[in-house]
Structure 1
């Protein structure tokens, strides 16, 4: 079986990684029972967090990059899905006076994605007045406000000009700091004595746009260098939770990155830009607990998923992994592909080959481990490829995409994501998953979650499959504007997401996988990298360190990762134990 690289791709301005795989073996035949529309796995009841705070996200939409506001609002809303909240998201230019009072909002997040946003609206226009109303309510209502990125100076100017009329102190008197303009060359954030990237592409893949990025060497580029700075005048009123600095411009000093003053928070840039496994995104994700006033215990758990197990996986490879994990008393999870396809006979001497899981020795082996050892099953699509279609490699299961059309027209590793398969037909996608689940029924194993092949599907695919599996164990992609499904953004999570914008309960994958033989132009990932990712992830108080591993790799790298994560203080658990 060809080992296809788990390649990374730069989606818009977000670094997002996708997965692929390999295997080998096959025999035997059984007829599957009918399973027209299986009942979904039950989701957990709400947690014991304070019930249903009302949170408002407001964002900019003006200017040539106006779409960035909605994109970042979507990512923020997903991340806030870690908590039990009622979330409303809307453009700032539609804000209504006293809205945060009338709707009993407890926390407001403002995403300043358009620099000098008021310059795009006529003074006295409805949009301009909406911002004025928002600024007034920010100054006068006793609500938590998290101000992210641009336009703090606009708030401060309006606040100070009306302080007497509004019956409040000036912005600086209230917060102990003042806006101090925009600077550049910042590429690191320090949080909990841990160095994190600040918008760094750790490895620029083919086609990545590194214009205006600082080349750090080794194909690493710092691309979010800008910082909105503040000048602190009263240290007794402020707490700096994270600082930022430069590794290449030593003439600039450390500056506040995330700062709190009472119920007002300021974040110096958009923490979602170029997010990766070692990014300041992790600091922001952790501090959401403090911003919302919802604390979670400091508990670090770990999970491992064995990837792309299918009818052609070598049973001895699976046995070696299972025996090692049992020897360490560690549970693990298996991402299983129900039906193997090789329509062009790439690995079968030119013969069109289909093998269902129950027709292979691997099916019995999985059944044995499911009942006798502590493994949980994840359904990894239906065939992990698409018909007799090269999409984009060879048409073979575990190599190609299933729910996304992908091309490499120039055969140079610069992939084009055309859009969801079958025009994002949800009924079609749901039926494929049901067909796969029927095959698993024959093997007498039940998956508790699903995972999109290569982490990609269409929005209607996701929503329809949720009726079968309301739990995702993966990274996901999202579509800010569903009228153009060739454009999407990817997101990974440092912890459990109780409800994303599709409605999924999401078990994360966030520290990647071993990549020992990458395609040309892509990075190698070793056990050392995975352990380092897990160490950075520990800045998140309730992080779940989650990686996946291919059975053909044997146990050499696994025998480094497992003790490495344990040494970092992680406790390995069953994935199903995280559904709470």
Structure 2
């Protein structure tokens, strides 16, 4: 097709979209989504009889989140399990993270007699073996004595994953009795101890000798565990390795020339990308403006808006990254200035670049956060930008109330996420966040699709704040190849050296990954729904709203035309 004809076709599609808006059909939430056949959920049972049940609950939630790649998962405390329930579910994952807890006889009897696939973590395995007649003959192994020797790595599918010193000592022993019936999936290894089985599989029964959720990092044995979960939950799934790149922290103060340069570089590489955008710049104390309080929005910076449209036309997906990426309530933790501070949770800093979470902010409540998000979305509308469907929380931290507001406004989160004990029961321990990242898209226990970011960012001069070398990012990407259907996902701040960006993109591609868009990744969980529409007073589309829609569509046509013209010159 010739470029001119393509432009005409694209513009015609935009006019059709405008007609749908005017007809009142554009908020397509009323349209039925494709119906997915109902399937039995996974059952995740965690042992709540140990020393700290809130932590056991979080580990159950983490397991359910990983299984959320393949269907719904119900999280249940062991004390609430009832005889016969297991047969109502497609498979069981048992999280035995508490050393001093023991599974009930009713539960053990059901597991021993069931034909459902089982994933069993760490403790309680001796009791299960005792309750299962002929356990060793059936599975080809049996539990052995606890081994307290230090093992600092987990070897899985030819790659080594870390076990931090704090969790490197002590594992339940596994004695293989019949190698024909059991496969050793992974081993725990250390400089002063022989390798010992870390994970084994006998048919559809998989046992992992620890609950690998403490001290998570990009190269941790958690990655190997997530890969095991994937192969257990979906044994026949595809082998594919995809990648994501995100341009980070673009606000109204960003340099539009540099933004266009980044778009050109990634377009030349044929790489789709995302751009996280906060819509309002705030410096309420005048820290960087000679003591004069400063505030402006995207609408006040038309060149930045044009650069964002250019990025979108070059293969970029715009992602909302908070409203102001700070709060006026307090230094959070630095200077109340947009781009550096937290917005949805309080934080402090010991002064070396590190940041520590400090609980909810004052006036924390879902209604207040919804109002803040809506204020930001209104800025997007006034600037003539399309409403974003994806959200990335500044610094990956929010309170339970803030997360509830985010879920209410956005169908997809593109980030790492915090979860709180008691949240599912409506009584969250709001000062006890537990952090989880994913090597593949999931639908988490909150019901939202989470697109992964699992490699961090190349920024070797910011090591105290989590920055990494390009080589370290690529090393993590290489390890993630053990995930059969996994992602290598990283981000790059727009103001940093673009050579870091290109070196990382090219290195990941050289490992065999294919870059895709964040929306394509989210589509693994089904068709992406439209973002919820906030109804304003009056109900209908105002004249200003109509003009904003028309301006946005016309600008989109121009941007898409430029995109096609550039492609024709390649």
Interval of TM-score (by shorter of Structure 1 and Structure 2): 0.7 to 0.9
| Counterpart among 48, 57, 65 of residue 61 in structure 1 | 48
Cα offset, 1:367, TM superposition? 2.1
Identify unmatched segments of 5+ residues in structure 1. 1-37, 119-129, 164-169, 201-212, 214-221
- 1:39 and 1:512 mapped to 2: Cα distance? 35
The residue correspondences of 1:365-384 to structure 2 (distance < 5 A) are 365-370=307-312, 372-384=313-325
**Residue 438 (str. 1) matches residue 378 (str. 2):** yes
Q: 1:414 to 1:531 in 2, by over 3 A?
A: closer
Cα deviation, 1:20-68, whole Å, max 9, x if unaligned, reads xxxxxxxxxxxxxxxxxx96989996798x8523321111122323332
Secondary structure at 1:109 match in 2: strand
Partner of 1:189: 154
Cα deviation, 1:461-484, whole Å, max 9, x if unaligned, reads 112222221110111111113442
The residue correspondences of 1:456-535 to structure 2 (distance < 5 A) are 456-481=397-422, 482-497=427-442, 499-518=443-462, 521-522=464-465, 524-535=467-478
The residue correspondences of 1:27-38 to structure 2 (distance < 5 A) are none
How many aligned residue pairs are there? 491
Cα offset, 1:321, TM superposition? 1.2
| Counterpart among 34, 39, 46 of residue 52 in structure 1 | 39
- 1:196 and 1:353 mapped to 2: Cα distance? 47
Partner of 1:362: 304
- 2:395 and 2:177 mapped to 1: Cα distance? 50
Which consecutive segments of 4 or more residues in structure 1 shift more than 3 A? 38-48, 410-416, 521-524
Cα deviation, 1:349-378, whole Å, max 9, x if unaligned, reads 1110001012112122112332x3211100
Partner of 1:100: 86
- 1:423 and 1:436 mapped to 2: Cα distance? 18
- 2:385 and 2:354 mapped to 1: Cα distance? 38
Report which of the two has the higher share of helix.
2
Partner of 2:482: 539
Partner of 1:424: 364
The residue correspondences of 1:66-77 to structure 2 (distance < 5 A) are 66-77=53-64
Partner of 1:226: 170
Cα deviation, 1:212-255, whole Å, max 9, x if unaligned, reads x3xxxxxxxx5333211110111111111112211x31xx2211
- 1:381 and 1:44 mapped to 2: Cα distance? 29
Retained in 2: the 8 A contact 1:343–1:388? no
Q: 1:260 to 1:570 in 2, by over 3 A?
A: same
Which structure carries more relative contact order (alpha carbon 8 Å, separation 6+)? 1
Retained in 1: the 8 A contact 2:141–2:176? yes
| Counterpart among 145, 155, 158 of residue 118 in structure 2 | 145
Secondary structure at 1:341 match in 2: strand
**Residue 136 (str. 1) matches residue 109 (str. 2):** yes
Q: 1:305 to 1:502 in 2, by over 3 A?
A: same
Partner of 1:237: 181
> How large is the Cα RMSD of the aligned pairs?
2.3
**Residue 258 (str. 1) matches residue 222 (str. 2):** no
Cα deviation, 1:380-412, whole Å, max 9, x if unaligned, reads 00000002531110000011111111234x646
TM-score, with normalisation over the residues of structure 2?
A: 0.82
Partner of 1:328: 269
Retained in 1: the 8 A contact 2:67–2:233? no
Q: 1:329 to 1:342 in 2, by over 3 A?
A: same
The residue correspondences of 1:101-180 to structure 2 (distance < 5 A) are 101=87, 104-118=88-102, 131-159=104-132, 163=133, 170-180=134-144
Cα offset, 1:107, TM superposition? 1.1
Retained in 2: the 8 A contact 1:149–1:268? yes
Retained in 2: the 8 A contact 1:358–1:442? yes
Secondary structure at 1:466 match in 2: helix
Cα deviation, 1:84-109, whole Å, max 9, x if unaligned, reads 23x222222332222212xx222111
Which moves more between the two structures, 522-531 or 381-390?
522-531
Retained in 1: the 8 A contact 2:264–2:314? no
Retained in 1: the 8 A contact 2:260–2:310? no
- 2:62 and 2:482 mapped to 1: Cα distance? 20
Secondary structure at 1:230 match in 2: strand
- 1:560 and 1:389 mapped to 2: Cα distance? 38
Cα offset, 1:153, TM superposition? 1.2
Q: 1:341 to 1:293 in 2, by over 3 A?
A: closer
Partner of 1:84: 71
Cα offset, 1:571, TM superposition? 0.8
Retained in 2: the 8 A contact 1:358–1:364? no
Q: 1:414 to 1:303 in 2, by over 3 A?
A: closer
Partner of 2:568: none
Secondary structure at 1:438 match in 2: helix
Retained in 1: the 8 A contact 2:457–2:467? no
Retained in 1: the 8 A contact 2:50–2:100? no
Partner of 2:9: none
Secondary structure at 1:117 match in 2: coil
The residue correspondences of 1:200-219 to structure 2 (distance < 5 A) are 200=164, 213=165
Secondary structure at 2:409 match in 1: coil
Retained in 1: the 8 A contact 2:366–2:402? yes
TM-score, with normalisation over the residues of structure 1?
A: 0.80
